[in-house]
Amino acid sequence: MVNVSDSKNYKVIGTNPIRHDGYDKVTGRAIYGADVKLPGLIWASIVRSPNAHAVIKNVDTSEAEKIDGVFAVMTGKDLPQQEDQFIDHGEGTENVAWSSENIMATQKVLYKGHAVAAVAAIDRYVADYAASKVKVEYDLLDAVTNVEDATKEGAPILLDSLVGDHLRKKVKNTNVASITRHEFGDPDKAFANAENVVERTFTLQMVHQGYIEPHNATAHWDEEDRIKVWTSTQGAFPVRTSTAAILKLDVSRVKVTPLEIGGGFGGKIPVYLEPVVSILSRKSGRPVKAVMERSSVFQASGPAPGGTITVKMGTDKDANIVAAESSIKLEAGGFPGSAVGAAVQCIFAAYDIPNTRIDGFDIVVNKPKSAAYRAPGSPQAAFATETVSDELARIHGMDPIDFRLQNASKEGTRRADGVVFPKVGNVEVLEAAKKSDHWNSDLGTPAKGRVRGRGVASGYWFNVGLKSTVNLSVNSDGSVVLVEGSSDIGGTRTSISMQAAEILGIEVENFRPSVGDTETAGYADVTGGSRTTYATGFAAVKAAENLIEVLKDRCAIIWSLDKNDIDFEDGTFFASKDPELKFTFKELASNLDNTGGPAASSGSVDLESAGGAFGTHIVDVDVDTETGKTDIARYTVLQDVGTAIYPAYVRGQMAGGAVQGIGWALNEEYYMKDDGTQANVSYLDYRMPTALDLPNIETIIVEVPNPGHPFGVRGVGEVPICPPVGAIGNALHDALGKRFYDSPMKPGRILNVLGKISD
Amino acid sequence: MAKVFLPYQLKKTTNNKDFIEVKGKTLNEVIINLEKMYPGTKEHLVQEGRIKPGLAAICGFSATRKGLLQELEEDTEVHFLPSIAGG
């Protein structure tokens, strides 16, 4: 671990206690969405389009309705009609009309797997059988599944109602939902005067987050027109907001209980099933459960967008980057809203460049509506920038880390989108990378028939703040019940409790944390944007500070003193003028009777950024030049995390993000057939790396504390997926002497670049 | 005076200046004064009394959570950028 701040003498922060949810999860007692059982529960099955693009002529549910055991059938017409209406989730907006149409199509299907009807029946098998009896008539349309085809003259138009915003110009009959630009300085003049200019175009394919647990939801629409929803989600409150908006209900009519979550990575923020099972429950009078099968997870949830990115960068004779330009075209999927907005803000974030121009294109294609995936848009952008940066470093004969250090963004650097960086740790991470054992070790000798190369790349993510609430109450045995509303996708119950424990001066094992439902916990925005340990942890700090004030009041009552004469330090309350009068936290907890009732407190925040963060990855690859297969020989992740509250969790996030990025670089892609449908809809064919494919991922935590948090926390979970694709591309170049501009860099592509096979 | 950096699409309105100085102690006052200086800009930034959906107002280093009520110190930089989602 590299600490670049004044060392703080924390007692709880920086330790690795047994996680509060650990035993339940390793013993299988933890309750996930698919485990939900309720009296009278029936199952839903979704009827999905086999076509990538078609007009719905007719949906005939009559045969399904006659089947024994069927309780209800619905189509998109059972959902309330919507007009364009935007709801704010804090870190992004949602057009309810498009969300509703994405959940169940009424006029057109825009991708294979698009839902068109649903059935609820006595069990899953009857539901599936009945769903197979729903007859849908389609008028087939040509499909476009990439940004190039979608923007060609005469391309089939997906959304007749879409009016594109092209640099303020309103454009109809287009698949380009928006064009944005950021421009600073005079890039044209700077390029004209540059000593070296490199311009490359990259392609990336759509990839899935690959969470193991499929989407699921159970709902019961009761006699009082209130809906109870149980689901695995990254945010119970956003699910409540979206479900209520789609069903045109007040939020108070929807109660969402979040279950344990088997992975999300951004993909479990949108709703897909909740409104459907709610309608089926209203129609049947029964609670209704739906669980997606794996093929539907691939085809009908929200993957990360593919697209094309062009990057041009120029340097002067001293290897200073003087200009950069980019055009980023990302696939939104069937409805507008790709991650292009973030991609344009991240693409040159690691560098201090005085002249920049970045164009972003949000393009609808006949694929599932894309969603967030750890640092949405930034990994795609980093692949392009970090490859070109590596080329420029080699042109200047420089060590690639030295080139990055010379041009690194730092506090005071103006980002390409204009915003000035506060305190960030880009330089500190690069310096740690340069000193690392990995960077200073010999490459070694690969096995016969293989060649080895080393690559490095950096990446950036903003990290967000937003709203969180934490409630604390004290038990008579000195334990503390902590209730918060942030879904725990990375062990945050413990990392949040640790921050309150540090303030209260007690051990975190004394905490009983839980994630409440939307009528138990105070409001919390989505668990995403790497915000939860930062923002909900901040709320826990506030709640703990408020609890100390409550407990000082109680000491004042017990000791008949003025509250101002009560002090608190290191877990002990004492009278400042009488050292004999003191209580440990536990002693005081057992003496609260007759002092005014149970002691409780609350803390809530609405925060700005969690402190932007940088990571740098170093990778050694071994390539079999006969088969094109690439193995990871060694991999090191370095990242500025601010302050590591629970270092083992932090290392887990760093390694996990890197592994997902390795899959993105080497194997993963939505492999599309000519008819616009995806060929690889199971984990047999959609090849994600497993523990057997990889070495131990080495992690080096760099701590440049965030001045905007009491303990210096920055977001952690998203940065580590940004550098891998670029780092592996650069390592492949080091190994093979060939550049890769298309991802994934799979065996066939490697053999193609080596000239051993043709396209 | 706040330093207001407008989206590229609105720069033509302000003769392509990188930023313009606008009086105002809150974001709301700055936008009202901006509209007086460059009529037509407000509709691209504000909708129904709030920052327009999909847009974030960066006041200083990061997106404000106080919306139009955000207080601004002298020389605060204000940027209007796409709001960022996360995973």
Domains of chain A: 2-30+464-607 (3.30.365.10), 33-142+213-300 (3.90.1170.50), 387-461+612-753 (3.30.365.10)
pLDDT at A178: 95
Tell me A304's DSSP state. Answer: B
Q: With 70 as the cut, is the pLDDT of residue A3 above it?
A: no
CB contact under 8 A, B61 and A530: no
Q: Which residues contact A303 (CB under 8 A, 6 or more apart)?
A: A206, A207, A208, A209, A267, A333, A367, A368, A370, A371, A373, A670
ipTM (interface predicted TM): 0.94
**Host H or E run for residue A260:** none
Chain B partners within 8 Å of A528 (Cβ): 85-87
Question: B interface mutation test: which of A169, A532, A608 has the most B CBs within 10 A?
Answer: A608
Least CB-CB distance to A464: which of B18, B81, B84?
A: B84
Interstrand relation of A42-48 and A613-624 (parallel, antiparallel or unpaired): unpaired
Give me the count of residues in chain A: 759
Dist. CA A279–CA A104, nearest whole Å: 12
Nearest CA in chain B to A605: B65
> A456-495 pLDDT, tens per residue?
999 999 999 999 999 999 999 999 999 999 999 989 999 9
**Mean pLDDT of all residues in chain A?**
96
Least CB-CB distance to A91: which of B7, B10, B83?
A: B83
Chain B partners within 8 Å of A461 (Cβ): 86
Nearest Cα residue to A337 out of A94, A610, A82: A94
User: Considering chain A, what percentage of its residues have pLDDT values greater than 70?
Assistant: 99
Q: With 90 as the cut, is the pLDDT of residue A692 above it?
A: yes
CB contact under 8 A, A418 and B79: yes
**The token pair that represents A732 in the structure block:** 């492949």
pLDDT at A84: 79
CB contact under 8 A, A462 and B86: yes
**Residue A106 pLDDT grade (very low, low, confident, very high; cuts 50, 70, 90):** very high
What amino acid is encoded at B38 in this protein? Y
Least CB-CB distance to A419: which of B44, B61, B85?
A: B61
Dist. CA B14–CA B17, nearest whole Å: 6
Mean predicted confidence (pLDDT) in A280-298: 98
Question: A interface mutation test: which of B43, B48, B62 has the most A CBs within 10 A?
Answer: B62
Which residues partner with A337 through β-bridges? Answer: none
- Across the A/B interface, how many CB contacts are shorter than 8 Å? 112
Dist. CA A263–CA A540, nearest whole Å: 24
Dist. CA A87–CA A616, nearest whole Å: 36
- Cis peptide before A744, with omega less than 30 degrees from 0? yes
Residue tagged 């009082």 (tokens): A224
pLDDT at A90: 61
SS3 annotation, A52-119: CCEEEEEEECHHHHCCCCEEEEEEHHHCCCCCCCEEECCCCEEEHHHHHHHHCCCCEECCCCCEEEEE
Q: Give yes or no for B49 touching A (CB within 8 A).
A: no
What amino acid is encoded at A162 in this protein? L
Dist. CA A121–CA A142, nearest whole Å: 35
Q: Give yes or no for B7 touching A (CB within 8 A).
A: yes
- CA A573 to chain centroid, in Å, comes to 42
Which residues partner with A15 through β-bridges? Answer: none
Q: Give chain B's domains with CATH numbers.
A: 2-82 (3.10.20.30)
Q: Give yes or no for B87 touching A (CB within 8 A).
A: yes
Q: Give yes or no for B80 touching A (CB within 8 A).
A: no
Buried b / exposed e along A410-430 (16+ C-beta atoms within 10 A): eeebbbbbbbebbbbbbbbbb
**Residue A7 pLDDT grade (very low, low, confident, very high; cuts 50, 70, 90):** low
Count, in order, helices (H) and strands (E) of chain A.
19, 31
Distance from CA of B43 to the nearest CA of A (A): 12
Least CB-CB distance to A609: which of B10, B61, B85?
A: B61
Nearest CA in chain B to A336: B54
CA distances from A371 to A193, A485, A504, A597 (A): 40, 22, 39, 47
**pTM exceeds 0.80 for this model:** yes
